[in-house]
A and B are shown apart, each in its own frame.
Chain A
Amino acid sequence: MAQVASITLLQNDDARPIIEAILADNPGVRVLNMHGAVKLDCDHSITIRRASVEERLGRAWEPQEIQLVLVSMAGNLDEDDDHFTLSWRH
Chain B
Amino acid sequence: MTVKKLGLRQRYEHMTRGLDWETTYQKMDDVFPYDSFEGIKIKDWSAWEDPFRLTMDTYWKFQAEKERKLYAVLDAFAQNNGQTNLSDGRYVNVVKLFLTGISPEEYQAHRGFAFTGRHLRGAGARVAAQMQSLDELRHLQTQVHTISHYNKFFDGISEFPHMHDRVWYLSVPKSFFDDARSAGPFEFMIAIGFAFEYLLTNLLFVPFMSGAAYNGDMSTVTFGFSAQSDESRHMTLGIEVIKFLLEQHPDNLPIVQKWVDKWFWRGHRLLGLVAMMMDYMLPKKVMSWKEAWDIYFVEAGGSLFQDLERYGLKMPKYADIATEEAEHISHQNWAVFYQYTHAAAFHTWMPDKEHLDWLSAKYPNTFDKYYRPRWELWAEMEKEGKRFYNMALPQLCQTCQIPMAYTEPGNPAAICFRATQFQGETYHFCSDGCKDIFDGEPEKYVQAWMPVQQIFQGNCGGATVPDVLAWYNMNAGADNMDYTGSPDEKIWKEWHPDADVARKAV
Which residue of chain A has its CB nearest to the CB of B211?
A35
Given contacts A36-B209, A90-B310, contact A76 B239 (CB under 8 A): yes
CA distance A90 to B233 in the complex (A): 22
- Contact of A6 with B229 in the complex, beta carbons under 8 Å: no
**Residues of B contacting A74 in the complex (Cβ-Cβ under 8 angstroms):** 300, 303-304
- Contact of A34 with B286 in the complex, beta carbons under 8 Å: yes
Q: Is B51 an interface residue (CB 8 A)?
A: yes
Q: Is A3 an interface residue (CB 8 A)?
A: yes
| Chain A window 34-74, contacts with chain B (Cβ cutoff 8 Å), 1 for yes, 0 for no | 11110100000000000000000000000111011111111
Given contacts A4-B300, A10-B225, A88-B303, contact A72 B235 (CB under 8 A): yes
Number of A-B contacts (CB under 8 A): 104
- Contact of B300 with A64 in the complex, beta carbons under 8 Å: no
**Residues of B contacting A25 in the complex (Cβ-Cβ under 8 angstroms):** none
**Residues of B contacting A68 in the complex (Cβ-Cβ under 8 angstroms):** 62, 65-66, 69, 229
CA distance A14 to B421 in the complex (A): 58
Which residue of chain A has its CB nearest to the CB of B243?
A76
Closest Cβ–Cβ distance, residue A9 to chain B (whole Å): 10
| Chain B window 281-314, contacts with chain A (Cβ cutoff 8 Å), 1 for yes, 0 for no | 0000010000000000001101110110110000
**Residues of A contacting B214 in the complex (Cβ-Cβ under 8 angstroms):** 35
Given contacts A34-B210, A36-B210, A67-B232, contact A72 B205 (CB under 8 A): yes
**Residues of A contacting B8 in the complex (Cβ-Cβ under 8 angstroms):** 63-64, 79-81
**Residues of A contacting B213 in the complex (Cβ-Cβ under 8 angstroms):** 35-36
Which residue of chain A has its CB nearest to the CB of B206?
A72
Given contacts A4-B299, A67-B229, A72-B232, contact A37 B210 (CB under 8 A): yes
**Residues of B contacting A67 in the complex (Cβ-Cβ under 8 angstroms):** 52, 54, 62, 229, 232-233
**Residues of B contacting A35 in the complex (Cβ-Cβ under 8 angstroms):** 210-211, 213-214, 221, 286
**Residues of A contacting B225 in the complex (Cβ-Cβ under 8 angstroms):** 10, 36-37, 71
CA distance A69 to B304 in the complex (A): 23
CA distance A80 to B229 in the complex (A): 19
Interface centre among B53, B206, B232 (most CB of A within 10 A): B232
Q: Chain B: interface residue count, which band?
A: 35 or more
Closest Cβ–Cβ distance, residue A64 to chain B (whole Å): 6
**Residues of A contacting B286 in the complex (Cβ-Cβ under 8 angstroms):** 34-35
**Residues of A contacting B9 in the complex (Cβ-Cβ under 8 angstroms):** 80-81
**Residues of A contacting B7 in the complex (Cβ-Cβ under 8 angstroms):** 80-81
CA distance A35 to B53 in the complex (A): 30
**Residues of B contacting A89 in the complex (Cβ-Cβ under 8 angstroms):** 307, 310
Which residue of chain A has its CB nearest to the CB of B10?
A81
- Contact of A71 with B62 in the complex, beta carbons under 8 Å: no
Closest Cβ–Cβ distance, residue B180 to chain A (whole Å): 22
Which residue of chain B has its CB nearest to the CB of A32?
B295
Which residue of chain A has its CB nearest to the CB of B215?
A35
| Chain A window 2-33, contacts with chain B (Cβ cutoff 8 Å), 1 for yes, 0 for no | 01111010100000000000000000000000
Q: Is B23 an interface residue (CB 8 A)?
A: no
Given contacts A68-B62, A81-B7, contact A8 B206 (CB under 8 A): yes
Q: Is B58 an interface residue (CB 8 A)?
A: yes
Closest Cβ–Cβ distance, residue A65 to chain B (whole Å): 8
- Contact of A73 with B232 in the complex, beta carbons under 8 Å: yes
- Contact of B62 with A90 in the complex, beta carbons under 8 Å: no
| Chain B window 187-213, contacts with chain A (Cβ cutoff 8 Å), 1 for yes, 0 for no | 000000000000000100111011101
- Contact of B51 with A6 in the complex, beta carbons under 8 Å: no
**Residues of A contacting B252 in the complex (Cβ-Cβ under 8 angstroms):** none
| Chain B window 228-246, contacts with chain A (Cβ cutoff 8 Å), 1 for yes, 0 for no | 1101110110010000000
CA distance A80 to B54 in the complex (A): 11
CA distance A73 to B69 in the complex (A): 21
Which residue of chain B has its CB nearest to the CB of A65?
B62
CA distance A3 to B62 in the complex (A): 31
**Residues of A contacting B307 in the complex (Cβ-Cβ under 8 angstroms):** 3, 76, 88-90
Given contacts A69-B229, A70-B229, A90-B307, contact A6 B300 (CB under 8 A): yes
**Residues of A contacting B66 in the complex (Cβ-Cβ under 8 angstroms):** 68
**Residues of A contacting B232 in the complex (Cβ-Cβ under 8 angstroms):** 67, 70-73
Closest Cβ–Cβ distance, residue B239 to chain A (whole Å): 7
**Residues of A contacting B304 in the complex (Cβ-Cβ under 8 angstroms):** 74
Pairs A–B under 8 Å by Cβ, sample size 16: A3-B303, A5-B303, A6-B300, A10-B225, A35-B213, A35-B221, A36-B210, A36-B221, A37-B209, A64-B53, A67-B232, A67-B233, A72-B206, A72-B232, A81-B9, A88-B307
**Complex A-B, nearest 6 residue pairs according to Cβ-Cβ distance, in ascending order:** A36-B213, A3-B303, A77-B51, A35-B213, A34-B210, A35-B214
10 additional A-B residue pairs with CB within 8 Å, beyond A1-B299, A63-B8, A90-B306: A1-B306, A4-B300, A37-B225, A64-B52, A64-B53, A67-B232, A73-B236, A76-B51, A80-B9, A90-B309
